[in-house]
Amino acid sequence: MRLRYNNTEWEVAGFINDYESTVSGYPVLGGTADVQDILQRYPDYYLMWGIHTIGRNYLIEKVFNKVNLPRERLATIVHPSAFVAPNAHLEPGVFIMSNCYVGPAAHIGLCSMLMANAIVAHNTRVGPLCHFSAGSITSSYDTIGKCSSISFGAVVLEKKNIGNFAVAGASSLVTKDIPDGEIHIGTPARFMKKVAEE
């Protein structure tokens, strides 16, 4: 299903931010406590999720649940230079930046973000609220759990399971599964520490 996949249909109206009055020259429309009011005041506005705190992955889900974004008001944005296979599935709120590749039969979960030049290969399943940093490569038949992060330049080999709230560190080569809530770094990637629970 291809709904709202063209980034030229969108114009930035503003940000939701608890700490600033403007962001990159755009107005802040309110804070996280104001989301439902903003949705009522601006019925033609759609939202995208941009909170991806690498290394504080439990916080992502906590804030997401707090703001309670309705699925039907989430913008799905794909840069025109990105390739998304016709039979790949993107859930609402997915944001795919320039020069990304999403392979056949891949599934990208709710509000996940692929930064520039990220690759998610065929038959890989990505959970909700995941973050793929620029230049990361996720091979085929992988499973990425919710709120997980594949950092800058990391490579996840095929048929690996990255758990929920897990992190593959920058430039890591992931040759084994990463359990829930763990940060693995290096080549090959090894356990470094647990993700902080907040």
Give per-residue pLDDT as tens, 70-114.
999 999 999 999 999 999 999 999 999 999 999 999 999 999 999
For the record, the structure tokens of 91 come out as 């859930």
Judge whether 108 and 87 are in contact, CB under 8 Å.
Answer: no
| Lookup result for tokens 């969108």 | 10
What's at 183, amino acid-wise?
Answer: I
Residue 157 above 80 pLDDT? yes
Residue 62 pLDDT exceeds 90: yes
Cβ atoms within 10 Å, residue 56: 18
Q: In what order do the strands lie in the sheet with 107-108?
A: 89-90, 107-108, 125-126, 143-144, 161-162
Portion of the chain with pLDDT greater than 90, in percent:
91
Domains of the chain (ranges plus CATH)?
Answer: 1-198 (2.160.10.10)
Pairing of strands 107-108, 125-126: parallel
- The pTM assigned to this predicted structure is 0.93
| Element spanning 194, H or E | strand 190-194
Question: 146 with 127: CB under 8 angstroms?
Answer: yes
User: Which tokens is 10 given?
Assistant: 């969108």
Mean pLDDT across the chain: 94
